[in-house]
Amino acid sequence: MESKKQNISFFQKYLTLWVFICMVIGVLISKFLPIIPDTLNKFEYANVSVPIAILIWLMIYPMMMSVDFQSIKNVTKNPEGLFVTWIVNWLIKPFSMFFIASLFFYTILNQFIPKDLAKEYLVGAVLLGAAPCTAMVFVWSALTNGNPSYTVVQVATNDLIILVAFVPIVKFLLGISNVTVPWDTLFLSVVLFVLIPLTAGIITRVYVCSKKGIEYFSNIFIHKFDNITIIGLLLTLILLFSFQGKVILSNPIHIVLIAIPLILQTFLIFFISYMASYLLKLPHNIAAPAGMIGASNFFELAVAVAVSLFGVNSGAALATIVGVLVEVPVMLTLVKIANATKYKFKN
């Protein structure tokens, strides 16, 4: 299949601006209408914030519908690119994130970040590092003229790997950080925010395609959820920032301090995947998506798990939100780098 040129949407292009606006609104709510976050904070079940869970489902469900899991039958095509993706995403990325975040939060920035907050920020970074992108990577791939068939296989296999690899990796890295997390809480988070929307997405896709056909599903049905996804994201951010209002007002510089290791990690993972693809002499339309999926994060899952495990007021939740804040400008920079170096790859 030939790659199609796709432009990033207005909302996606200025996602950082929307996140910043949501942060201002959330902090103002926290400051002047504290009854709103205080009331919503009472709606919990098994340590999971019900309002946040509902909004995150609204974001994740359409993503899962977009993934064609039948594409996995093409896994033997361009296997080198998939091996690069799997190795970097699951054997390198979580551990490099842990190392970089630890270095910055515990050593380089220890004069600016209290020890207890440093541990919570590290937890948020680990959750981001253990969750490779499943949705926005389609946009990054298209902007670099990536092979869409390969990108679909790449995302589908990573979604399945998350089901078995996310929990043990997070448990191991948090154990090194002396953070105790119950196995059942971790498994519950994956079931709630990956397995259930994944299953619902597959069932919906199969049903609609069987009744109306793939063209209707891809061109009409899936786009009915575009606004729902955007609204879910914005409301989630406003709620989270309203819960985090006191932390942000007392430590506004921490937003920047958290962003530093996250940005460095993003560039590192991209160049590892991108250069490995170059050395393996893969075509650019395979190399670019391979670099993008590891560099970007499944921040919806990271936010949901951070909230479930440590609460909406935690530093872990704040760190995952900063991941959303820096995602788009950093990834657009990597898109420019990938397009500028395309000539170095053989067709």
Largest CA distance in the chain: 61
Residue 122 has pLDDT above 90, yes or no: yes
Given a contact cutoff of 8 angstroms between Cβ atoms, the answer to whether 240 and 307 are in contact is: yes
Q: What is the mean pLDDT of residues 245-271?
A: 89
Encode 88-103 in three state secondary structure. HHHHHHHHHHHHHHHH
- Return the amino acid letter for 340: A
> What pLDDT does 136 receive?
74
> What pLDDT does 3 receive?
40
Sign (positive or negative) of CA dihedral 305, 321, 5, 282: negative
Q: What is the mean pLDDT of residues 127-139?
A: 82
| pLDDT tens, residue by residue, 204-225 | 999 999 998 988 988 889 888 8
| pLDDT tens, residue by residue, 36-70 | 887 887 777 666 778 878 888 887 888 788 777 77
Q: What is the mean pLDDT of residues 233-247?
A: 81
DSSP secondary structure, 212-239, as one string: H-HHHIIIIIGGGGHHHHHHHHHHHHHH
Distances 184 to 98, 173, 180, 189 between C-alpha atoms, Å:
23, 17, 12, 9
| pLDDT tens, residue by residue, 291-308 | 998 898 888 888 888 888
Residue 116 backbone dihedrals phi, psi, to 5 degrees = -65, -40
In terms of Cα–Cα distance, which of 74, 97, 230, 219 is closest to 154? 74
pTM of the entire structure? 0.84
Given a contact cutoff of 8 angstroms between Cβ atoms, the answer to whether 167 and 183 are in contact is: yes
Given a contact cutoff of 8 angstroms between Cβ atoms, the answer to whether 72 and 157 are in contact is: yes
Q: What whole-number distance in Å separates Cα of residue 275 and Cα of residue 271?
A: 6
> What pLDDT does 47 receive?
64
Residue 116 has pLDDT above 70, yes or no: yes
Q: Where residue 268 falls among pLDDT bands split at 50, 70, 90?
A: very high
Distances 65 to 69, 212, 269 between C-alpha atoms, Å:
10, 15, 27
Sign (positive or negative) of CA dihedral 230, 233, 237, 240: positive
Q: Where residue 5 falls among pLDDT bands split at 50, 70, 90?
A: very low
Given a contact cutoff of 8 angstroms between Cβ atoms, the answer to whether 158 and 89 are in contact is: yes
Q: Name the token pair of 222.
A: 């899936």
Q: What whole-number distance in Å separates Cα of residue 40 and Cα of residue 49?
A: 8
Q: What whole-number distance in Å separates Cα of residue 248 and Cα of residue 5?
A: 39
Burial classification of residue 183, based on how many CB atoms lie within 10 Å of its CB (0-12 exposed, 13-18 middle, 19 or more buried) = exposed
The mean predicted confidence, pLDDT, of the chain is 85
Which one is predicted more confidently, 191 or 71?
Answer: 191
Q: What whole-number distance in Å separates Cα of residue 140 and Cα of residue 57?
A: 23
Residue 246 has pLDDT above 80, yes or no: no
> What pLDDT does 2 receive?
39
Residues whose CB is less than 8 angstroms from the CB of residue 55 and which lie 6 or more positions away in sequence, other chains included: 232, 233, 235, 236, 239
Q: At what angle do helices 148-176 and 93-102 cross, to 10 degrees?
A: 50
> What pLDDT does 319 receive?
92
Given a contact cutoff of 8 angstroms between Cβ atoms, the answer to whether 329 and 16 are in contact is: yes
- Return the amino acid letter for 271: F
Residue 3 backbone dihedrals phi, psi, to 5 degrees = -75, 145
> What pLDDT does 303 receive?
84
> What pLDDT does 4 receive?
42
